[in-house]
Amino acid sequence: MRVSTADVFEATQNDLDLVEQRLLQAARIDYPVVSSLVNGLVATGGKRLRPLLLLLASKAFTYDRDRAITAAAGVELLHTASLVHDDNIDRAALRRGQPTLNTQLSSGAVILIGDYLFAQSAILAAATESVRVVAIFASTLGAICDGQLLETLQAHDLGQDRASYEKRIYGKTASLFAGAAEMGAVIGQATETEIAEMRDFGGDIGMAFQIVDDILDLREGTQVLGKPAGNDLRQGVVTLPTMLYAATLAQDSPQREVLERIVAGEETDDAVIGSVIDAVRASGAIDQAERIAGEYSASARNRLRIVRDESVRRQLDEIVDLTVIRSY
């Protein structure tokens, strides 16, 4: 029997509170107005899935509480910094229903704040005094940047294949889940086999997480993500449901022509975009994307066989649920 979501967070709430304190300390900036904005950004950071994953990955083996909490704060701050840069690149006005830094500061200031948060997250990683954790952190940061570059350069290609899409979202999203789980296992002094399995566990749920995000973008929009429905499509970003829908269209069909114009930024009429979103919903592409997300979550659950502690194994299993059954 699986534990409830409340049980997962309740079991680690004390440690998550300490993670939150470390986050706020590390994100402190001496300029009052900017400090208030950054603190607000950090405080509205969602459910802290990545720090929770790192803490539980460490608890699955030999729990070093202080190092795990420090690394978890570093992982979440790295995530926050990447969102700051992501929003700046996308010129996004909203994040989780709240105004982004872009709406209140210059682009240059936003980039510098993102850089500062990246630096502070690296300092937290170094504070674990583990060379391997720092190496994983650096590798993860590189993967995130690679994923963002791929999104900037390739995400507007309607003809891209699934392998290209998955490489992009692994870098942009799943690599941080994978790195968090790997850091936790390293801090927990797991064996090399166990570390590899935990890293792949994190990667699997990170892939499922992003695919579900792509689904919610087309299915729910503002109600769930704090952004307009079809926000990715409006920005010309081809996600899995849109890709699967495009595969059903003939190259010379009027529907594909309209879709290509939207992706190219040549069609901005809300009514036209809305009709394409409705077509994607009706095509079965979202159901197909859900099945693919389900395959990743099933793979993640299978990897948990290496976790001997039943309580921690059930909590990690619940994290899988949190990635695929979401309404926030």
Summarised one tens digit per residue, pLDDT across range 287-297 is: 999 999 999 99
The answer to whether residue 143 scores a pLDDT higher than 60 is yes
Give dist(CA 58, CA 68) in Å, integer.
Answer: 7
Question: Does position 5 have pLDDT exceeding 60, yes or no?
Answer: no
The β-bridge partners of 324 are none
Per-residue pLDDT, 42? 77
Kindly state the average pLDDT of the residues 21-32. 84
- How far is residue 142 from each of residues 7, 148, 227, 262, 317, measured CA to CA in Å? 34, 10, 27, 31, 28
- What is the pLDDT, as a whole number, of residue 103? 76
pTM over cut 0.95 = no
Of the listed ranges 98-102, 222-226, 232-236, the least confidently predicted one is 222-226
CA atoms of 237 and 242, how far apart (whole Å): 9
Lowest mean pLDDT among 91-100, 109-118, 171-180, 288-297: 91-100
* pLDDT tens per residue across span 145-184: 999 999 888 888 898 899 999 999 999 999 999 999 999 9
Residue 225 has pLDDT above 60, yes or no: no
Q: How confident is residue 3, by pLDDT bands cut at 50, 70 and 90?
A: very low
CA distances from 159 to 21, 153, 230, 244, 259 (A): 45, 14, 19, 10, 12
Mean pLDDT lowest among 53-62, 102-111, 223-232, 258-267: 223-232
Domains of the chain in start order, with CATH, are 5-324 (1.10.600.10)
Q: How far is CA 29 from CA 39, 113, 121, 208, in A?
A: 9, 9, 14, 35
Contact, 240 vs 284, CB < 8 A?
Answer: no
Average pLDDT over residues 93-113: 75
Q: What is the per-residue pLDDT for 95?
A: 66
Confidence tier at 98 by pLDDT (50, 70, 90) = low
